[in-house]
Amino acid sequence: MILFPAVDLKNGQCVRLEQGDMARATVFNLDPAAQARSFAAQGFEYLHVVDLDGAFAGKPMNAHAVEAMLKAVTMPVQLGGGIRDLATIEAWLDKGITRVIIGTAAVRDPELVKGAAKKFPGRVAVGLDARDGKVAVEGWAETSHVTALEIAQRFEDAGVAAIIFTDIARDGLLKGLNLDATVGLADRISIPVIASGGFASIDDVKALLEPRAKKLAGAIVGRALYDGRLDPAAALKLIRSAA
């Protein structure tokens, strides 16, 4: 079980959104590299980064901030947001990103994901962000007509490293993870699933360690870390003691 601290980038700053709404952004740190170092010092082992501007623009928009974070820490980094072609995937992997996350292109261009996963084994993840069960794209600005399960099943046996499943309705609102939906997805596919959206407290850590969640590969935590609702030391100790 990996707990991924999240760094969401907007205009080169660390922010958290509410339900994916760029107009409802709270700035938590002006220096993403310093934030990455802080998470490393707290004992986290894997960083989750999203280029929010890139997700809307369809191309990387916060490259300088991402590159500064890569220089600041040695832990692996997974990156999503605006990664929609093979050239962008290759460029980020060459710069030191451990794993790229493909969201919109996974809906619109599944062959890109399959080709990239084959070319870069273990280094391509798919981000599925659901609103009322349907997957949203273009930085969550549009909702598609397909379910997360339908898309996830397209990539069975494709070599995808993980599915990151986000419940948009909960994201940034500290309402707790939607484990029912996340576990329900994990139970129907063989690809490891990472929970995201709504992580609120140590209770979410405890829920992740329950037997029903044993198929999950981890969870992403954002606002609860930034505003102090989750004690990193307590959360990581609990996870390690259960290992």
Which candidate in 8, 53, 171, 204 is catalytic?
Answer: 8
Decide if 85 is catalytic. no
Decide if 21 is catalytic. no
**Conformation bin of residue 131: beta by default, left when phi > 0, alpha when psi is -120 to 50:** beta
Which candidate in 51, 53, 129, 204 is catalytic?
Answer: 129
The residues carrying an active-site annotation are 8, 129
